[in-house]
Amino acid sequence: MKQTELRGPAPAAAVRPVTPQQREAKAARTGGEPTLEFAGQVPYDVYTHASTLHRLQQPLSDDPGEMSFLMVSQIMELYFGLTRYELLQAQQLIRADQVWDALAPLRRATLHLEALNAAWRGLRWMSPADFNKFRNLLGEASGFQSAMYRQLEFLLGLRDPALIRPFRRHTEVYAELRDSLAAPSLWDDVVALLARRGFDLPAEVLDRDVSVEHETHPRIEAAWVAIYAEDGPGNHLRQLGEALTEVAEQFGEWRWQHVKAVQRTMGAKVGSGGSAGLAWLQRSMARVVFPELWSARTSM
């Protein structure tokens, strides 16, 4: 995937670049006071589209608590997309055998996941009575239907083709999800990297159907045991393993906090999207991201 494809469309109005010399000259003219007059739009708004972002909240009720629920949900959507963006960067670098360079986007992804997890705190006030004030108005709307979350799951290797069915009538989104299912996950590319680095991995692992969820394999476990046995500073594969472990751990923390938030706000009620709610989420927790990085630790 090309760099431009990951960034999305260019803004409608461009921010005018300024050099360090121009900044210094302007500060000298204004005595260090901030600029208060602009010929066109405020540059910050042109760059961030903040005025657009703040018009995207459209609560369905008069309950003031719904704004928290809605905005935290939107914040999480943005972090899903940002985390996926970083992981795609890491995946490209791993495919190019640039392991050291891949550590930076993986580190950023971990920090983004930490911020994503912190967003749950904004909903800790919500009791069942609070949620019930507007829950019925949501109809069948559910976080289960987040296309970007599915994209993130697929990239991390959690794959269930049935979960793209809700998007069949949203042709562009459906096509993107189908393409993601057909493409290797980040973990698939890590396993391919290990094979290129000389680890003996069988064809059943390297040539498998990537649209199907990966299952733990003893040869991949053995590779990670051997990698972790060398603790020198030049062991970039070990550093890669730790960076991936951080990503998996923080993603697992988000899933766990989701379970706890559901318990807090609705107990074991049926989910808004038609699932068993809490029970469905608890079952999904059994699916592990980067499984051999965890199972191999028993033999280290």
- Domain membership flag for residue 7: no
Rounded Cα–Cα distance for residues 273 and 121 (Å): 23
Nearest Cα residue to 68 out of 134, 167, 157: 134
Give the CATH number for residue 132.
Answer: 1.20.58.480
Answer whether 151's CB lies under 8 Å from 176's CB: yes
145-178 pLDDT per residue, tens: 899 999 999 999 999 898 899 999 999 999 999 9
pLDDT band at 3 (very low <50, low <70, confident <90, very high): very low
Report the number of distinct structural domains present in the chain. Answer: 1
Mean pLDDT of 207-217: 93
Is the pLDDT reported for residue 5 higher than 50?
A: no
What Cα–Cα distance (Å) separates residue 278 from each residue in 127, 233, 271? 15, 44, 8
> With a threshold of 0.85, does the pTM exceed it?
yes
- Domain membership flag for residue 143: yes
Is the pLDDT reported for residue 4 higher than 60?
A: no
**Residue-by-residue DSSP string for 119-142:** GGGGGTT--HHHHHTTGGGGTT--
User: Can you give the C-alpha Rg of the chain in angstroms?
Assistant: 23
* The two three-digit tokens of residue 239, written as one number: 């550093």
Residues within the annotated binding site for substrate? 135
- Domain membership flag for residue 51: no
Rounded Cα–Cα distance for residues 178 and 6 (Å): 17
- Domain membership flag for residue 140: yes
Q: Please tell me the predicted confidence (pLDDT) of residue 284.
A: 74
Q: Please tell me the predicted confidence (pLDDT) of residue 141.
A: 87
Question: What residue numbers bound the domain in which 74 lies?
Answer: 65-299
Phi-psi region of 151 (alpha: psi -120 to 50; beta: other; left: phi over 0): alpha
- Domain membership flag for residue 162: yes
Q: Please tell me the predicted confidence (pLDDT) of residue 2.
A: 45
66-85 pLDDT per residue, tens: 999 999 999 999 999 999 99
Residues within the annotated binding site for heme? 258
Q: Is the model more confident about 77 or about 263?
A: 77
pLDDT band at 275 (very low <50, low <70, confident <90, very high): low
- Domain membership flag for residue 276: yes
Residues within the annotated binding site? 135, 258
Q: Please tell me the predicted confidence (pLDDT) of residue 272.
A: 61
- Domain membership flag for residue 34: no
Mean pLDDT of 179-183: 96
- Domain membership flag for residue 83: yes
24-43 pLDDT per residue, tens: 998 999 898 988 888 888 98
Q: Please tell me the predicted confidence (pLDDT) of residue 16.
A: 85
Distance between first and last Cα of the chain: 36
Is the pLDDT reported for residue 274 higher than 80?
A: no
